[in-house]
Amino acid sequence: MNQPEFQVPASDPRRAKNRQAISKIFRVACMLVAVQAVVILIVLLTTVFVRGVDQLSWDFLTGVHRDDNPDGSGLWPAIIGSIVICLICGAAALPIGIGTAIFLEEFKPRNKTLRILHNLVQLNITNLAGVPSIVYGILGLTAFVYMFGLFGTYEANKAAELEFGAQRYYQVRTLAKTFVWIPATDKTVRVLRIEEPITARYPDGGDFKLNLIDRGATKPSDPTVLGQTVYRGSKASIFAKHPWHYLRLPFHKSVLSAGLTLALVVLPIVIISSQESIRAVPDTMRDAGLGLGCTRWQMVRTIVLPASIPGIMTGAILAMSRAVGEAAPLLAVMGGVVGKRHAPENLMDNAAAMPITIYNWARDDNPGFWELSATAIIVLLCLLLTMNSIAILLRYWAEKKFASR
Amino acid sequence: MRPSATSKRNQTFVVSLLVLCATLSIATTVGIVTILLTESYGFFSRIDLSDFLLGTEWTIGRSKNEADYKYGIWPLILGTLRITLIAMAISIPLGLTTAVYLSEYAPRWIRAILKPVLEILAGMPTVVLGYFAVVVITPTLLEPLGFKPYNAMAAGIAVGILCLPLVSSLAEDALQAVPRSLREAVYGLGGTRFDSVVKVVIPAAMSGIVSAFLLAFARAIGETMIVALAAGSIPTFTMDPRGPSQTMTGFIVEVFQSEDVIPGTIAYYSIYAVALTLFLLTFITTLIGQFVRRRYREAYE
């Protein structure tokens, strides 16, 4: 009556054996393929290590790039540049990312328009995570470097329209062959012709009255007076000193532009990982807080955030380590800077960064720089390794702490 | 107990701040789309759309004279596709098999090695993989076979290595989501481990696996530094992987590198036109991925 629709075939020992054999072969094949990843990683790390370790020295870490000489070149400005850019990126991306995650996870609105916004943000973040980083680079270029052309078109070496904190001086050589500065008032006058006595300043501070003598007249003999005297009609050309608090609009090709652009790149990653760790906080803890009469925000601030901070930090560090290795958006925003001789002095300064230096050295015509590129990769990987181990330690510590509850 | 008026006011303030944060991500998308559309208008208002869509030569920046420029996008698209296909041919089989091994077979100690290795590979900066392609893959693997010093193959292999961890971790998640009971049913019918993997688990996880592939595909299309280092910088209208090729991202980087792009010139606007094409391609791929995951997902309780 109740016939089964299909019949289990009578066991055939030979076929069963074959199938067992196939299964075993498949298992071994899978393992061999999976081990490929380990092989690739080992080959990659050994190559970089073998090629680069010879040049790794204290001089390399503290030196600066030299165009002609790979042996004397170093990575110092790039290391500092990368760290500064990464800090700016973190300072911008973390508060915004964590804020968005809290909004998405804890404040699911009942209001209809807000609910549409809520869904839109969630959908949007999934899509943003798939946008190529070079496209973010282009966004950063238009939005931060040129500011949509709101402050006039960009021209190299032109003073910015809006700036704060720049000190402009004319520099002139005295008869003692030292340089003194004259504070500039009008930044559009590039060259000042000195026709009358004027207040000047030593580069290391201290104002004095600049003396003038005519060409051909006898020079004063006192060296101090000589250091305060120039010929009538001398030309002084303008330059700008940018202290650490210097700001301007638009940002042009600066570390600030670069950091903000990278912040946009890692923002989806920060949001998604923060969301996951907030979601991991059990609802019972939330209910306990709300039951005591907290507002939702009080509950989030005192219960959910402290419990999820280790997870959020782990995600944040991983996002930052992604930012340190990104080169494409930096290339778009800052251009291929490599020959920078010093670390950035203010937020508006241009800087070298490690990934860009690696890229440029790897493309250099001089093969010496290829080896140097490997050395720079070792430094970069060490930095990434440190960041990742901090993240792993943090995760481990958090797991232990919350397991005991 | 009811919250006090002050704490309610505080909450309103904080929530509006949070909404502000959330709108920023929307602003990013709006920003990307507006900039790409408005700036590439500067490009499309000066040249014919048909030249762009049908032309087979791309020579922007190759000659001094702007009148000699040719604006056919196809060499760049073919360059991108060539590298992406090579990358997929490497990362899909390798990644899927690794995922199967991790999810179905791997003993704990191998897992403990493989997982971190994959994570390190996934976090590897792309310049490093580009360097690897130039100094290892090309000279030791490809040049003996008659490949040029800069070629699509090396770049494709390196991009494949980059996508491998992505494919394997997403596919592993999909495989893990298949409930144990299905596997046990296979064993109960007398099936082997192989039968359970090939005939039940993989088909059951298909939607997750396919969306993993699509994500990897989008990633490979948008990959920049590897192709800028390893693929060369000549846009070619061919599918031959032995010679140099330039991708859409590669072109954008080359223009940025040259430093003398002046805003307002046709070369400058061409970046936006290429970026728009790139953005559309990746966006469509991501959308299809999301659609597949939602539409064909098998939900298990």
Do A139 and A284 fall into the same domain? yes
Q: Residue A271 corresponds to which amino acid?
A: I
Contact B216, B285 (CB under 8 A): no
User: Of A5-9, B89-93, B177-181, B277-281, which range is least confident?
Assistant: A5-9
Closest alpha carbon within chain B to A320: B123
End of a domain among A194, A211, A241? A241
Q: Residue A77 corresponds to which amino acid?
A: P
Query: Can you tell me the distance from the alpha carbon of B150 to that of B161, in angstroms, rounded to the nearest whole number?
Result: 18
Query: Can you tell me the distance from the alpha carbon of B186 to that of B140, in angstroms, rounded to the nearest whole number?
Result: 45
Contact A257, A144 (CB under 8 A): yes
> What is the distance, to the nearest Å, from the Cα of residue A11 to the centroid of all Cα atoms in its chain?
65
Closest alpha carbon within chain A to B194: A23
Cα dist. A189→A185, A318, B31 in Å? 9, 49, 37
Do A138 and A281 fall into the same domain? yes
Instruction: Return residues 82-111 of A near B (CB < 8 Å).
Output: 95-97, 99-100, 102-104, 107
Contact A272, A128 (CB under 8 A): no
Contact A336 B256 (CB under 8 A): yes
Do B22 and B85 fall into the same domain? no
Which of A295, A321, A334, A364 to probe by mutation at the B interface, max B CB count within 10 Å?
A295
Residues 6+ positions from A347 with CB-CB distance below 8 Å = A88, A246, A247, A254, A255, A256
Percentage of chain A with pLDDT > 70?
94
User: Any idea what the CATH number is for the domain that residue A285 is in?
Assistant: 1.10.3720.10
Q: Measuring CA to CA, which residue among B19, B86, B62 is closest to residue B226?
A: B86
Residue pLDDT, tens place only, A260-270: 999 999 999 99
Q: Measuring CA to CA, which residue among B142, B163, B169, B171 is closest to residue B87?
A: B163
Contact B22 A117 (CB under 8 A): yes
- Asked if residue A370 has pLDDT above 80, the reply is yes
Residues of chain B with Cβ-Cβ distance to A153 below 8 Å are 263-264
User: Per-residue pLDDT averaged across A338-359, rounded?
Assistant: 85
Residues of chain B with Cβ-Cβ distance to A365 below 8 Å are none
Between A164 and B255, where is the model more confident?
B255
Contact A360, A342 (CB under 8 A): no
User: Per-residue pLDDT averaged across A62-87, rounded?
Assistant: 88
Q: Does residue B24 belong to any structural domain of this protein?
A: yes
Query: Can you tell me the distance from the alpha carbon of B203 to that of A109, in angstroms, rounded to the nearest whole number?
Result: 38
Q: Does residue B177 belong to any structural domain of this protein?
A: yes
Q: What is the 3-state secondary structure (H, E, C) of A229-251?
A: EEECCCEEEEEEECCCCCEEECC
Q: Measuring CA to CA, which residue among A246, A252, A210, A244 is closest to residue A227?
A: A210
Contact A327 B125 (CB under 8 A): yes
Task: Give B174: exposed, middle or buried? Use CB within 10 Å, 0-12, 13-18, 19+.
Answer: buried
Contact A296 B35 (CB under 8 A): no
Do B109 and B25 fall into the same domain? no
Residue pLDDT, tens place only, A96-131: 999 999 999 998 878 888 788 888 888 899 889 889
- The confidence score (pLDDT) of residue A153 equals 63
Residue pLDDT, tens place only, A79-105: 999 999 999 999 999 999 999 999 999
End of a domain among A199, A216, A241? A241
Do A258 and A387 fall into the same domain? yes
Q: Among partner residues A154, A297, A377, which is closest to B10 by beta-carbon distance?
A: A297
Contact A132 B93 (CB under 8 A): no
Query: B218 pLDDT band (50/70/90 cuts)?
Result: very high
Q: Does residue A222 belong to any structural domain of this protein?
A: yes
Residue pLDDT, tens place only, B24-63: 989 999 999 999 999 888 888 888 888 888 878 887 767 6
Q: Does A396 touch chain B (CB under 8 A)?
A: no
Q: Does residue B72 belong to any structural domain of this protein?
A: yes
Q: Does residue A28 belong to any structural domain of this protein?
A: no
Domain of A204 in residue numbering reads as: 167-241
β-strand A198-201 against A162-164: which pairing, if any?
unpaired
User: Per-residue pLDDT averaged across A308-320, rounded?
Assistant: 91
Contact B253 A328 (CB under 8 A): yes
Contact B251, B277 (CB under 8 A): no
3-state SS, residue B90: helix
DSSP-assigned letter for residue A169: E
Domain count, chain A: 2
User: Per-residue pLDDT averaged across B196-217, rounded?
Assistant: 92
- Asked if residue A376 has pLDDT above 80, the reply is yes
Q: Measuring CA to CA, which residue among B150, B114, B113, B117 is closest to residue B226?
A: B150
Domain count, chain B: 2
Percentage of chain A with pLDDT > 90?
38
Q: Does A319 touch chain B (CB under 8 A)?
A: no
Between B202 and A199, where is the model more confident?
B202
End of a domain among A209, A241, A273? A241
Query: A69 pLDDT band (50/70/90 cuts)?
Result: confident
Closest alpha carbon within chain B to A97: B21
Query: Can you tell me the distance from the alpha carbon of A371 to that of A280, in angstroms, rounded to the nearest whole number?
Result: 46
Which tokens sit at B168?
């394997």
Look at the block and give the residue holding tokens 């904080």.
B14
Residues listed for chain B: 301
Query: Can you tell me the distance from the alpha carbon of A177 to that of A231, in angstroms, rounded to the nearest whole number?
Result: 12
Residue pLDDT, tens place only, A257-304: 999 999 999 999 999 999 999 999 999 999 999 999 888 999 999 999
Do A216 and A316 fall into the same domain? no
Which of B114, B224, B258, B291 to probe by mutation at the A interface, max A CB count within 10 Å?
B224
Instruction: Return residues 334-353 of A near B (CB < 8 Å).
Output: 335-336
Q: Measuring CA to CA, which residue among A365, A332, B24 is closest to residue A355?
A: A332
Query: B216 pLDDT band (50/70/90 cuts)?
Result: very high
User: Of A228-237, A312-321, B173-182, which range is least confident?
Assistant: A228-237
Do B79 and B137 fall into the same domain? yes
Q: Does A191 touch chain B (CB under 8 A)?
A: no
Instruction: Return residues 259-298 of A near B (CB < 8 Å).
Output: 264, 267-268, 271, 292-298
Q: Does residue B101 belong to any structural domain of this protein?
A: yes
Closest alpha carbon within chain B to A34: B98
Which of A8, A32, A75, A138 to probe by mutation at the B interface, max B CB count within 10 Å?
A138
Do A198 and A310 fall into the same domain? no
Query: Can you tell me the distance from the alpha carbon of B182 to that of A292, in angstroms, rounded to the nearest whole number?
Result: 45
CB count in 10 Å sphere of residue A246? 18
Domain of B19 in residue numbering reads as: 5-45
Q: Does residue A49 belong to any structural domain of this protein?
A: no
Do B100 and B134 fall into the same domain? yes
Do A259 and A230 fall into the same domain? no
User: Per-residue pLDDT averaged across A335-364, rounded?
Assistant: 85
Between A289 and A251, where is the model more confident?
A289
Do A228 and A334 fall into the same domain? no
Q: Does residue B52 belong to any structural domain of this protein?
A: no
Do B70 and B39 fall into the same domain? no
Do B179 and B76 fall into the same domain? yes
Residues 6+ positions from B61 with CB-CB distance below 8 Å = B69, B254, B255, B258, B267
User: Any idea what the CATH number is for the domain that residue B90 is in?
Assistant: 1.10.3720.10
Q: Does residue B54 belong to any structural domain of this protein?
A: no
Do A392 and A313 fall into the same domain? yes
Do B139 and B261 fall into the same domain? yes
Q: Does residue B244 belong to any structural domain of this protein?
A: yes
Do B227 and B116 fall into the same domain? yes
- Asked if residue A1 has pLDDT above 50, the reply is no
Residue pLDDT, tens place only, B136-195: 999 988 888 888 888 899 999 999 999 999 999 999 999 999 999 999 999 998 888 899
Q: Does A143 touch chain B (CB under 8 A)?
A: yes
User: Of A222-236, A303-317, B128-142, B143-157, which range is least confident?
Assistant: A222-236
Query: A200 pLDDT band (50/70/90 cuts)?
Result: confident
Do B139 and B252 fall into the same domain? yes
Residue pLDDT, tens place only, A29-46: 999 999 999 999 999 999
- The phi and psi torsions of A189 (rounded to 5 degrees) equal -80, 110
Closest alpha carbon within chain B to A326: B125
**What's the mean per-residue pLDDT of chain B?**
88
